[in-house]
Structure 1
Amino acid sequence: MVGVLEGFATIAVVVAVGWLLAHLRILDESAQVALSRLAFHVASPALLLTVMQRTPLQAVVSANLATALLSFAVVVALYLLVARLRWAGGTLGSRLIGGLSAAYVNAGNLGIPIALYVLGDVAWVAPTLLAQLLIITPVAMALFDSDARGERPTLGRGLRRMLSNPITVGAIAGLLIAVLDLHLPTVVSAPIALLGAMAVPSMLIAFGISLRRGPRPAAGRSADHVWTVVALKVLVMPAVALGVGLALGLRGQALFAVVVTAALPTAQNIFTYAVRYRREVTLARDAIFISTFASVPVILAIAGLFHWLAGV
């Protein structure tokens, strides 16, 4: 369990650095936007390329992948239903941010250490990484781009947007390298890895700046919206993953892995997308902040329950 706390503590420290830099007026809102753009256009694509080319494909094409996709779809559908009933109106981009905040998990900088220390193998988080990077993210980016341009989403436009979006390009390039078993020369791979290493710190520092310079989390009229998203993320999604996993025949460690992964908090890159497309920035920020803290006891409880059942 120490690994779980260490993973969360690492993120908290870097976010606190961003908060302190904003408090001391070393960085401001313009730096937040610049860091988010850097992460979106350069660092994240490089990181995704690096991660995907190292992802063991034989370990991800399984019922775990189907469970990750179905759990995501169910939770997003629930969010859209609740949003339609409680918060009428809103753009496509706004609804996308809300849905992603409720169902897109932090499978990278939190999922990997938790998979290692809690599940015993990083490969357990690979199905969710694959689902998010190669299926969910490209579709979301195409929809965001259509919304930003005021276009009606179509298949042709969606495919063009996918192939021109830096996030999608990085993930697809990494997958092709893995499938073709290519080995990039050091003069190419080393700069890509160095650029990719900036992604998580850039996102976390930008997030910390937002916490200091923006409104207090879950304050005012948006509080019920934020808490609804957080409840869907840390409570409903693990329950959905448990039901879907059981229905698909998962048992034991495989089932434990999908439930723990589903309980991970909202990913920091949703904040980057919100800033990039100027949609629901505060909602994304607050959902990430609160779900990160709320997921700790949930993950610990899930781990304790599964270990107790294994010993019964």
Structure 2
Amino acid sequence: MQGVLLGFVTIAAVIGLGALVAHLGVVGLEAQVVLSKVAFFVASPALLVTTLARTDVHDVLSRNLVATAAGVAVAAAVYVGVARRRWRRNVGELVVGALASSYVNAGNLGLPVAAYMLGDAAFVAPTLLLQLLVLQPLALALLDADVRGRRPSVGQLLRRPLTNPLTIGTLVGVVLSVTGWRLPELVRSPVELVGAMAVPAMLLAYGVALRLGPGFGGGVPLGEVGLASALKLGVQPLVVWAVAHLMLGLDGHPLLAVVVCSALPTAQNIFVHATRYQRSTTLARDTILVTTVGCVPLVVALTAVLG
């Protein structure tokens, strides 16, 4: 428990530093964009390559992946079922709402939490794989189809995951782990140096966004925000715990890791997708805010119970 609290304090301190420099005017909102892009396109893929390359991913990607997928499926399905009947949402709005209810912030928060609180960034690998290889390509294809009024081709569905740098970094790390290959020292050293920049850049960017980003409010029904937030912070972790512990036999630290990763807030890029396709932007934004605030006491409580 002490290690988890230390991890939270460390993460909060760096986020607070980002908010402070934004508040003082040292940087503007453009700094959040720059830091996020550097972390997304350069540092995070490097971190995933080096982390997964030295990790035995067989256990991480088996039972953990099944439990993670179950939590996502149940949360998304419940939202779609309720929102379609209660608020008569169309396909694009249902896609964004389902993502808001189940898509974990595995990048900006997942990697730091896994690295500093759980002791190994590899714990977030199942979530990253599921989201980057399956959920995001499928969701973007459906949004494309909803906006353009035509179905995506099979080739577009297959190519989309390979355009994401986090997907590429994850796959390279998994291949290195499974095959036992080792990067040459001349390659590994600079990759590790760049990867070390990922977590601080993400946390600083998040702090800037919290201080200068948009606030809460809008025309979306509060019941819909409440539903999406409750599914993300309540139903999804509960389903993951039930599947992982009761059905797959996980216990101890591995069980804590998979449940904590599922309890992380809605990813910020869901708001980006919603804005791009003009579907449920307020729902995405407000769910991100609610779940980001709510995940802190939730993760502390989960650690106290399962740790």
Assess same fold via TM > 0.5. Answer: yes
How far apart are residue 72 of structure 1 and its match? 2.0
- Note the residue ranges of structure 2 that are not aligned, 5 or more in a row: none
Distance in 2 between residues matched to 1:181 and 1:219, nearest whole Å: 51
How does 1:185-224 map onto structure 2 within 5 Å?
185-216=184-215, 218-222=216-220, 224=223
Please state whether the residue corresponding to 1:170 is helix, strand or coil.
Answer: helix
Distance in 1 between residues matched to 2:25 and 2:101, nearest whole Å: 29
Distance in 1 between residues matched to 2:304 and 2:130, nearest whole Å: 32
Does 2:106 align with 1:109? no
Deviates most, 53-62 or 181-190: 53-62
How does 1:1-312 map onto structure 2 within 5 Å?
1-85=1-85, 88-89=88-89, 92=92, 95-96=95-96, 99=99, 102-104=102-104, 106=106, 107-116=110-119, 122=120, 126=122, 129-143=124-138, 146=141, 147=143, 150=148, 152-216=151-215, 218-222=216-220, 224-250=223-249, 252-253=251-252, 256-257=255-256, 260-261=259-260, 264-266=263-265, 270-272=267-269, 274-275=271-272, 278-279=275-276, 287-288=287-288, 290-306=290-306
Deviates most, 245-254 or 199-208: 245-254
TM-score calculated relative to the size of structure 1: 0.77
Deviates most, 204-213 or 139-148: 139-148
Residues 272/239 of structure 1: CA separation in 2 closer, same or farther (3 Å cut): closer
Please state whether the residue corresponding to 2:27 is helix, strand or coil.
Answer: coil
Indicate conservation of the 8 Å contact 2:71/2:262, yes or no: no
Residues 28/85 of structure 1: CA separation in 2 closer, same or farther (3 Å cut): farther
How far apart are residue 252 of structure 1 and its match? 4.2
One-letter code of the match for 1:140? L
Residues 154/254 of structure 1: CA separation in 2 closer, same or farther (3 Å cut): farther
Q: Percent identity?
A: 36
Distance in 1 between residues matched to 2:88 and 2:40, nearest whole Å: 30
- Runs ≥4 residues deviating over 6 A: none
Distance in 2 between residues matched to 1:245 and 1:13, nearest whole Å: 32
Per-residue CA deviations over 1:172-231 (Å, capped at 9, x if unaligned) read 111111122111122211222222222222222222222222233x43445554443332
Please state whether the residue corresponding to 1:108 is helix, strand or coil.
Answer: helix
Deviates most, 37-46 or 221-230: 221-230
Per-residue CA deviations over 1:24-77 (Å, capped at 9, x if unaligned) read 222222222222222222222222222221221233244333112212221222
Residues 193/255 of structure 1: CA separation in 2 closer, same or farther (3 Å cut): closer
Please state whether the residue corresponding to 2:111 is helix, strand or coil.
Answer: coil
One-letter code of the match for 1:53? A
Distance in 2 between residues matched to 1:205 and 1:91, nearest whole Å: 35
Indicate conservation of the 8 Å contact 2:15/2:207, yes or no: yes
Distance in 2 between residues matched to 1:90 and 1:22, nearest whole Å: 38
One-letter code of the match for 2:133? P
Please state whether the residue corresponding to 2:112 is helix, strand or coil.
Answer: coil
Distance in 1 between residues matched to 2:152 and 2:284, nearest whole Å: 23
TM-score calculated relative to the size of structure 2: 0.78
Deviates most, 174-183 or 290-299: 290-299
Indicate conservation of the 8 Å contact 1:41/1:166, yes or no: yes
Deviates most, 49-58 or 107-116: 107-116
Please state whether the residue corresponding to 1:110 is helix, strand or coil.
Answer: helix
One-letter code of the match for 1:109? P
Residues 188/301 of structure 1: CA separation in 2 closer, same or farther (3 Å cut): same
Per-residue CA deviations over 1:123-154 (Å, capped at 9, x if unaligned) read xx85x533222232122342465446956344
Q: Number of aligned pairs?
A: 296
